[in-house]
């Protein structure tokens, strides 16, 4: 029989150094008087068992499956599963290879009600990531229990998204008990309280598409923003398929969920004028725009020829094109000065997603010096680089199930791209078109981006 006593349990956390006091420098560079890392509990089975009893008193009757947020909460979830006889699921943390590994291990059916267990909640980021992945597998998040709430805003953030987080302990209840039991001095007690007060994580302000459309300087940019707002989708499907039929069939399946398609027209083996007509017709039917990812990178005169001539005659059908700024301001100005009826909006590539990309800070800062001067420019393609409002940030390298490929591509999750990189538009290639059921897969991406309140 495991005895349960809050005060003795919390004091033991200090004894086994899961909670430490001192002068710590956090990853952010900020100083902290307290350090919490509950992973060490695995070395103390009796404490793990005790923790499980704390959890058990809170578990809702509806729960059908238990899942721990990897890794710290995995042994905790295991202990609860053994004690309650509720089956457990494991959500993988590591990169998933296409088609070979499942993201969730264990038996379950769609709609199963899950208890999610986490050790510590700070910003709520890892919980949100796990929630998105479990929900994309059809599981229902019924209850969320965490051992310790750092009270820095994470649970409020989850609440705003409709998830209630219950915590066994809060950092202030922890230090109050330790102070009352004479385990810490009064000064330290107040230092920790002040630290909590000063360390609130503010929810990122995601730019509303509707508001942006009102101030965006470019008509095509406004159109894109209005479509994103109307369809509640900031997803751009990058269709790197190599026949007209494959491209059009794919777009028939995902067209209703995207605000734009991005093509590499030079990889389409049977490119023709008819293809362009069909493409424009399907784009009109489903209300999305067309981006040609041509990545122009030449002197002004050549770029104008590449835009307007040749078998592709890109400017005649593309709503937007990508362009490198490597050739300098004059090359960009040449397009801006081009007087023609049909000119695509320009999306400069500021920073690339691939490993070892040469688009360093110096390069990006140089792009910034002139790109905003030109009204044909909609914004930029980038990762960490910040685009000035009301210009738009486009980010490729987005995938729910993979961290990268073996050719240098690097992926982030949609939530990370929106909330941390603060991107306006997400470009998704293989995450969608390599799926056997893109029409099902796109719903997962839509659920992820819609959970970020971007409209
Ligand atoms: P993926 O299958 O999601 O990896 O495809 C990404 C697409 O975005 C692909 O067409 C690339 O050419 C494109 N891309 C990119 O991945 N990274 C970049 O920095 C730029 C474009 Br710019």
State whether the beta carbon of 238 lies less than 6 angstroms from ligand 1: yes
Residue 98 has pLDDT above 50, yes or no: no
Cα–Cα distance for residue pair 39/261, rounded to 1 Å: 45
| Catalytically annotated residue among 119, 149, 293, 376 | 293
Please say whether the beta carbons of 423 and 452 come within 8 A.
no
Amino acid 128: pLDDT = 84
Residues with Cβ within 8 Å of 64's Cβ and at least 6 positions away in sequence, in order, are 86, 87, 108, 112, 113, 114, 142
Rounded distance from Cα 429 to ligand 1 centre (Å): 7
Ligand 1 pocket test, pick from 397, 423, 425, 426 with the greatest ligand atom count within 8 Å of Cβ, gives 397
Please say whether the beta carbons of 334 and 309 come within 8 A.
no
The sign of the torsion formed by the CA atoms of 355, 361, 366, 368 equals: positive
Contacts by residues 403-406 (CB-CB < 8 Å, ≥ 24 positions apart):
403/94, 403/95, 404/95, 404/355, 405/430
Amino acid 112: pLDDT = 97
Cα–Cα distance for residue pair 450/455, rounded to 1 Å: 8
Tell how far CA 42 is from the center of its chain: 30
Rounded distance from Cα 352 to ligand 1 centre (Å): 8
With both helix axes pointing from N to C terminus, report the angle between 244-254 and 273-286 in degrees, rounded to the nearest 10.
0
Percent of the chain, pLDDT > 90?
Answer: 78
Residue 93 has pLDDT above 80, yes or no: no
Cα–Cα distance for residue pair 267/421, rounded to 1 Å: 30
Q: Provide DSSP, 190-213.
A: HHHHHHHHHTPPPPP-PPPHHHHH
**Could you identify the residue written with the tokens 């089956």?**
87
The ranges assigned to domains in the chain are: 6-198, 209-450
- State the closest ligand 1 atom to the C-alpha of 433, by its place in the atom list counted from 1: 2
Predicted confidence band of residue 4 (pLDDT cuts 50, 70, 90): low
Is residue 112 flagged as an active site residue? no
Predicted confidence band of residue 446 (pLDDT cuts 50, 70, 90): very high
Cα–Cα distance for residue pair 333/391, rounded to 1 Å: 18
Please say whether the beta carbons of 66 and 87 come within 8 A.
yes
Please say whether the beta carbons of 63 and 115 come within 8 A.
yes
| Catalytically annotated residue among 211, 295, 333, 368 | 295
Amino acid 107: pLDDT = 96
Closest CA to 212 of 6, 393, 408, 447: 393
Cα–Cα distance for residue pair 318/404, rounded to 1 Å: 29
User: What is the side-by-side order of every strand in the sheet holding 165-170?
Assistant: 104-105, 88-91, 65-68, 113-121, 140-149, 165-170
**Could you identify the residue written with the tokens 């902290």?**
32
Cα–Cα distance for residue pair 418/414, rounded to 1 Å: 6
Cα–Cα distance for residue pair 416/129, rounded to 1 Å: 9
Is residue 295 flagged as an active site residue? yes
State whether the beta carbon of 350 lies less than 6 angstroms from ligand 1: no
Rounded distance from Cα 140 to ligand 1 centre (Å): 32
Rounded distance from Cα 266 to ligand 1 centre (Å): 15
Please say whether the beta carbons of 75 and 90 come within 8 A.
no
Please say whether the beta carbons of 35 and 20 come within 8 A.
yes
Residue 1 has pLDDT above 50, yes or no: no
CA angle 441, 447, 448 (to 5 degrees): 95
> What is the three-class DSSP state of 430?
helix
Amino acid 210: pLDDT = 82
Per-residue pLDDT tens digits for 22-64: 999 876 677 899 999 999 999 999 999 999 999 999 999 999 9
Rounded distance from Cα 372 to ligand 1 centre (Å): 23
State whether the beta carbon of 349 lies less than 6 angstroms from ligand 1: yes
Percent of the chain, pLDDT > 70?
Answer: 95
What pTM, to 2 d.p., does this model score?
0.62
Residue 2 has pLDDT above 70, yes or no: no
Q: In this structure, which residue's CA is closest to atom 3 in ligand 1?
A: 429
The architecture in CATH of the region 6-198 reads 3-Layer(aba) Sandwich (3.40)
Amino acid 123: pLDDT = 83
Rounded distance from Cα 290 to ligand 1 centre (Å): 15
State whether the beta carbon of 325 lies less than 6 angstroms from ligand 1: no
State whether the beta carbon of 427 lies less than 6 angstroms from ligand 1: yes
Cα–Cα distance for residue pair 347/291, rounded to 1 Å: 9
For the domain made up of 209-450, give the CATH fold.
TIM Barrel (3.20.20)
Per-residue pLDDT tens digits for 101-148: 678 999 999 999 999 999 999 888 889 888 878 987 899 999 999 999
State whether the beta carbon of 352 lies less than 6 angstroms from ligand 1: yes
Which of the residue ranges 121-130, 172-181, 248-257, 277-286 would you say has the lowest mean pLDDT?
Answer: 121-130
Mean pLDDT of 12-19: 95
């Amino acid at each position: 029989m495991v005895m349960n006593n809050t005060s003795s349990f919390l004091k033991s956390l200090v004894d086994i150094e899961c909670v430490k006091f001192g002068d710590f420098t956090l990853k952010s560079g900020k100083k902290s008087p307290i350090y919490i890392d509950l992973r060490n509990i695995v070395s103390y089975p009796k404490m793990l068992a005790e923790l499980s009893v704390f959890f058990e008193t809170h578990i809702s009757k509806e729960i059908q499956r238990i899942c721990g947020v990897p890794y710290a909460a995995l042994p905790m979830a295991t202990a609860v599963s053994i004690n309650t006889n509720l089956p457990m699921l494991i959500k993988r943390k590591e990169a998933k290879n296409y088609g070979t590994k499942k993201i969730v291990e264990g038996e379950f059916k769609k709609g199963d009600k899950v208890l999610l267990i986490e050790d510590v909640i700070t910003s709520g980021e890892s919980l949100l990531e796990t929630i998105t992945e479990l929900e994309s597998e059809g599981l229902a998040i019924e209850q969320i229990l965490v051992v310790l709430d750092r009270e820095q805003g994470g649970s409020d953030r989850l609440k705003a998204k409709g998830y209630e987080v219950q915590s066994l302990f809060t950092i202030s209840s922890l230090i109050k008990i330790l102070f009352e039991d004479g385990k810490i001095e009064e000064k330290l007690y107040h230092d920790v309280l002040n630290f909590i007060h000063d360390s609130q994580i503010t929810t990122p302000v995601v730019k509303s598409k509707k508001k942006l459309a009102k101030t965006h300087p470019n008509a095509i940019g406004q159109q894109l923003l209005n479509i994103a707002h109307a369809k509640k989708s900031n997803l751009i499907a990058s269709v790197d398929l190599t026949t007209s039929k494959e491209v059009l069939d794919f777009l028939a399946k995902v067209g209703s969920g995207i605000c734009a398609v991005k093509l590499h027209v030079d990889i389409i083996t049977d490119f023709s004028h008819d293809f362009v007509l069909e493409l424009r017709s399907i784009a009109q039917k489903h209300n999305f725009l067309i981006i040609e990812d041509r990545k122009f990178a030449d002197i002004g005169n050549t770029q104008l020829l590449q835009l307007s001539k040749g078998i592709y005659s890109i400017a005649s059908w593309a709503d937007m094109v990508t362009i490198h700024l490597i050739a300098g301001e004059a090359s960009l100005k040449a397009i801006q000065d081009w007087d023609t009826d049909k000119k695509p909006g320009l999306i400069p590539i500021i920073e690339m997603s691939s490993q070892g990309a040469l688009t360093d800070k110096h390069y990006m800062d140089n792009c910034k010096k002139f790109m905003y001067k030109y009204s044909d420019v909609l914004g930029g393609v980038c990762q960490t680089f910040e685009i000035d409002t009301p210009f738009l940030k486009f980010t490729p390298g987005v995938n729910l199930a993979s961290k990268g490929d073996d050719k240098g591509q690097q992926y982030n999750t949609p939530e990370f791209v929106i909330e941390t990189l603060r991107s306006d538009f997400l470009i998704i290639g293989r995450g969608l078109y390599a799926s056997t059921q893109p029409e099902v897969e796109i719903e997962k991406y839509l659920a992820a981006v819609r959970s970020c309140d971007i409209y």
